[in-house]
Amino acid sequence: MNPGFMQQQEAFFSVNDHHHLQDMFTLGMVDKDSALNIVKPDPEMEECWVGFDAGAYGGQLGYGYLNQNTALKVSNIHGNASSVLVSPKKRKADKGQTLQVVSEKEKKIKGCCDRDSKLTRQNSNGNNNSNGNNHNKEASTKATSKDKPKVSEDQKKDYIHVRARRGQATDSHSLAERVRREKISERMKYLQDLVPGCNKIIGKAGMLDEIINYVQSLQKQVEFLSMKLASVNPELDFNMDNTFTKEMFDSSTSEFPALACSSANSAYFDQLNSLDQVVSYRGLDMGINSAEMGLRSISSPISIPETFMDSSFFNQTATWDADLQNLYKMEFEQGRLIPFQSHQFTGKVNWKKKTAI
């Protein structure tokens, strides 16, 4: 069993991406046998795992929900393994960790899934170890008739004792913690709907990662857009009608068909809309840095008087690359032209003439 186990481990060593690991493990956990294979350290643990497995997947709670925490723990173990334990020497330590995985899982499950039945079983088995972390749950446990893993407890005696002493000494504390954990996982679920691309990721750390990325990209988008607006308007005078603003938020993207009546612009609109979809937030993220650097090199954008640009220039730039440097160039040129055309603006948006150029 051990060489096989090591092989599997090495396979996982090569996978560095944390999310990848989690994905793999959630997939793996679906298949019962492979799940056992992933974390079984040696044959004597088999019993423990089987028992655990039967309890875990006994349909007590949402399968996926259990998966969440088990996947997290397992992947964290292996994440650790890939980063820290490479040599065969440390296999023993790894075994120890996988033992801890079991206890961790049990703790998590009892915390998050309201399943204290297992722990009452452990108590009834008379293990000293379980008392350390289980007795505090007894108050709120419901007795069921499932078999519980025993082997793990003996070997993790010290571990559990330590944990009990440190964190969960009283009933109220553990209850409160459990409530807190439930709340957090509930919020995480809601976040999954909110943040795009979070459906596959289960587990707190990965979710937080995605949230962080999303918030960062949104903030960068705001910066980029404000820079774009700043370069487009030489002055920030928005003497807008109420009707103008109403149109802006009544329809989502094509809110200016009334104002921009030329048919040539509708093609432009389509390109813009498609661009918005094409440029995912990650792509925008990377593009922004290069574009901002390009823009900072432009020292005095507006004050240079310039004659008319060739009309072909605009046609060219209307073909919208995902290359944001083009965007900045175009804004730059347009910004220069605005003072000459301000008197031609009809319609509802009035731009004041630039007085001090």
Partner 1 sequence: MHTSSKLTKEFTKKWVKGLQICCSSKKDMDVLERKKKIKLCADIALASAKNATTSWSIALISEAKKNDENEILVDNLLGPESRFKQQKIIRQMNSCHKRVRSKKILKKSCSISQRMKKMGPPKSNLAAYIAKRLVKKRTQVLQRLVPGGESMDEFSLIKEALDYILSLRVQVDVMRNLANATEVLNQSNSSNVFD
> Closest CB to partner 1 among 86 and 248?
248
C-beta contacts of 342-350 below 8 A and 24+ residues apart: 347/259, 348/240, 348/241, 348/243, 348/244, 348/259, 349/239, 349/240, 349/241, 349/244, 349/259, 350/239
Q: Which of 17, 36, 19 shows the shortest CA–CA distance to 204?
A: 19
φ, ψ of residue 300 in degrees (nearest 5): -120, 95
Q: Say which residues have a Cβ less than 8 Å from residue 159's Cβ, sequence separation at least 6.
A: 99, 100, 103, 129
Report the site for partner 1 in 228-287 (rule: CB under 8 A).
228-233, 235-240, 245, 248-249, 252-253, 255-256, 259-260, 262, 264-265, 268-269, 272, 276
**Segment contacting partner 1 (CB under 8 A): 8-16, 48-56, 126-134, 337-345?**
337-345
> Closest CB to partner 1 among 27 and 227?
227
φ, ψ of residue 142 in degrees (nearest 5): -115, 135
> Per CB under 8 A, does 304 bind partner 1?
no
> Closest CB to partner 1 among 322 and 349?
349
> Closest CB to partner 1 among 8 and 221?
221
**Segment contacting partner 1 (CB under 8 A): 21-29, 37-45, 47-55, 307-315?**
307-315
Please check whether residue 244 is in contact with residue 255, taking contact to mean a CB–CB distance below 8 angstroms: no
> Closest CB to partner 1 among 62 and 347?
347
Half-sphere exposure of residue 300, counting CA atoms within 13 Å on the CB side?
A: 5
Report the site for partner 1 in 161-190 (rule: CB under 8 A).
162, 166, 180, 183-184, 187-188, 190
**Segment contacting partner 1 (CB under 8 A): 114-122, 128-136, 138-146, 291-299?**
291-299
**Segment contacting partner 1 (CB under 8 A): 7-15, 45-53, 133-141, 345-353?**
345-353
> Per CB under 8 A, does 154 bind partner 1?
no
Report the site for partner 1 in 199-218 (rule: CB under 8 A).
204-205, 208-209, 211-212, 214-216, 218
How far apart CA 136 and CA 132 sit, in angstroms, is 8
> Per CB under 8 A, does 125 bind partner 1?
no
CA-only gyration radius of the chain, Å = 30
> Closest CB to partner 1 among 169 and 222?
222
Report the site for partner 1 in 48-107 (rule: CB under 8 A).
72-73, 76-77, 79-80, 84, 93, 96-97, 100-101, 104
> Per CB under 8 A, does 132 bind partner 1?
no
Please check whether residue 163 is in contact with residue 132, taking contact to mean a CB–CB distance below 8 angstroms: yes
CB of 60 to partner 1, least distance (A): 23
By residue count, the chain amounts to 357
CB of 245 to partner 1, least distance (A): 6
User: Concatenated DSSP letters for 91-117?
Assistant: HHHHHHHHHHHHHHHHHHHHHHS---H
